[in-house]
Amino acid sequence: MLFANYQASTMGTMFEEPEAPLMLADAMVHYAGPHDALALENLEQERRAFMVPAWIIYGPALKRKELAHLHPFMVKAITSEAVRANLDIWDDILRLEPAEPARSLLHESLMKHRTVSMGGRSLAELGLQAAEPLAAPVRAFFSECDGTGTYTILVQVLLPNGNVHVHNVARRMDGEPRDGFSLGNREAGNLDSMQEGGFSLEDLAFTPLPLAEAAVWARRTLDWKNADQETRYAAASLIWSIGMGQPWGDEPEVRSLDEEVPSVPEPCDEEMHEFFMDFHLSWFLDAEQMRHLGIEPGDLRTADAKAQEAAFELFDNPKVRKNLQDMLRHMSLYRRYAGTDGGHVPGPGFYERLMRMLDDKEKGRLFLQHYFINCMAAFLAKPESIIFPIGDTRRRQRLREVGFPRLTRPKGKHMAYLDFAEVAHHALESITNFKGAEYLGEDRYAHLAVAVAKAYVDAFFIFGDGRRLEEDRRRYRRMLNAMGKHGGLDEGRNKGLWIWLADRLTEFFDDVCAGCAVHCLSRPTVGLRKPFFGDEHPSKKGNHK
């Protein structure tokens, strides 16, 4: 039989392998005969059972003149499903350059469908009939946005064999599709957790979305004529699945940004810092997205002064500001659907407060400064090493002279002081060219680095390792006091500098201290003369006696 090789196990490949529908068209031609109509009926049952759109299965076959006698059946299936799903897929099919009579039939269906869409006449008047709905359960989700301002709409379709089709479209804040894809006939086990609060796709959390809303968002994707074919097919398949299937379980209520939410006070500086460092590590600068906005960002993936200055020059760019406002607006809507996990994550009111801050020039600059400090941290982090490698002989010698001139029997706490002072000193030098920061001079940087390191390390001995929020806040405040006292820094004028510095010290603790054999933070009274005065840092050589 013609369709012996196109059973349930093969249907899912129609989404992912462009050659699969072409091979089917070739098989139809090769095995053409008196039983074509019956064979096509059998294929139609298989196709509908496994939720594959008619236009995907039959598209290549419409180009084959040898199958002209089957074209009316195929076009009827395509048309009736497009009517059911309210899916305008005609231009995409016509781009395939179908042969006659398929081309004329498709043109006729296109004109009728668009007449109905514009409210001219009814389906019945034009002789259009909607396909019968299918029993396949369908559910929709959408994600929070990532740092580029991109979010994902995702639909799952439950198949008779227990597997699922997945249709996914990623969109930017301005509505333009970034990309999209479909996965056919996949095991559902690792996706079920979405019902429990979200599995992660590219580190993004998902929450359920009403099917009708998902279809509306996907239709906006099809409005962008420059979207590539894979993305357009994914969006069309998503809309088709919603129109042809049935709701999979209870759907959430439709939420809107017009709904009132509890107002929240304007976040203080520490709350802003915690928001970006603890909650939104996925928000980051992206060179591709900057160019999408019409901005040439330069090389932001280096730690030199030019990259730092380039990042801060984006502060007042209206396109960046607009994109951030749209991101906050999206997150406000996301939290209306997803909730706040018992108050453990910011609610919609928090995002709307930040949106209002961006409308104010001065407050908006504070928000942007926090945002870009976090962006730079994400850009500069390298998997093979921390941002500022430890063990600079000249730098360590200078810091020993400044901070410990008469020390002859250093212990664990002194080793910690020196290590964190080296990181702080390197960070202070690197940030010299940040817009708004003032250069203090080499001697003051050395004294300030030692003072900040001592404040930071002493906080470990007093408050622990800072894994609880209140402990981290206390350490943060001690560092600020040290910077003001020993560096003469005004907190407002140099906010970017001390946020940057605090984050670099924490990164050093996370990335180096945990793997260093010395464990000086946990052995503050143990003598460590050799590593303290040595030329190499013990984390490099294992020299910790």
- Per-residue pLDDT of 215-230, as tens digits, reads 999 998 888 878 888 9
Q: Considering 215, 247, 279, which residue would you say is the last residue of a domain?
A: 247
Domain check: are 327 and 416 in the same one? no
**What single-letter DSSP state applies at residue 170?**
E
- Looking at the fold, whether 151 and 58 belong to one and the same domain comes out as no
Strand-pair partners of 367: none
Q: Please check whether residues 145 and 235 belong to one and the same domain.
A: yes
Does 93 lie in the same domain as 203?
A: no
74 plus 142 within the same structural domain: no
Shared-domain flag, residues 372 and 428: no
Co-location of 276 and 232 in the same domain = no
Spatial distance between the Cα atoms of 10 and 235, rounded to a whole number of angstroms:
22
In a domain, 1, yes or no: no
Confidence at residue 485, expressed as pLDDT on a 0 to 100 scale: 62
Specify the pLDDT at position 51: 94
Q: Read off the pLDDT of residues 59-83 as tens digits, 9 standing for 90 and up.
A: 999 999 999 999 999 999 999 999 9
Same domain, 426 and 523: yes
| CA angle (57, 62, 66) in 5-degree steps | 120
Handedness of CA 489, 494, 497, 503 (dihedral sign): positive
Residue 437 lies in a domain: yes
Residue 449 lies in a domain: yes
Name which of 67, 61, 85, 87 is nearest 6 in CA terms: 61
Structural domain including 145 reads: 137-247
pLDDT score, position 490: 53
Q: Using the 3D structure, point to which of 380, 408, 423 is the last residue of a domain.
A: 380
Query: Does the reported pTM lie above 0.85?
Result: no
The DSSP result for 12-60, as a single string, is THHHH-THHHHHHHHHHHHT-STTHHHHHHHHHHHHHHTT--HHHHHTG
Looking at the fold, whether 375 and 407 belong to one and the same domain comes out as no
| Contact (Cβ atoms closer than 8 angstroms) between residue 531 and residue 400 | no
Q: In a 10 Å sphere around its CB, with 0-12 CB exposed, 13-18 middle and 19+ buried, how is residue 331 labelled?
A: buried
Residue 510 belongs to some domain of the structure: yes
> Which parts of the chain have pLDDT scores under 50?
1-8, 191-200, 202, 279-281, 301-305, 379-387, 433-437, 466-469, 493, 542-545
Q: Is residue 3 part of a domain?
A: no
- Smallest CA-to-CA distance from 8 within 66, 50, 64 is with 50
131 domain residue, yes or no: no
Which pLDDT score is estimated for 483? Answer: 61
Q: How far apart are CA 216 and CA 214, in angstroms?
A: 5
Per the DSSP assignment, residues forming a β-bridge with 181 are 168
Note the pLDDT of residue 61.
Answer: 94
Same domain, 529 and 458: yes
Do 161 and 300 share a domain, yes or no?
no
Same domain, 409 and 521: yes
296 located within any domain: yes
SS3 207: strand
User: Count of domains in the chain?
Assistant: 4
pLDDT at position 240 is: 97
pLDDT at 134: 94
The answer as to whether 259 is a domain residue is no
Q: Which of 99, 126, 153 is the last residue of a domain?
A: 126
- CA 179 to centroid of chain Cα atoms: 13
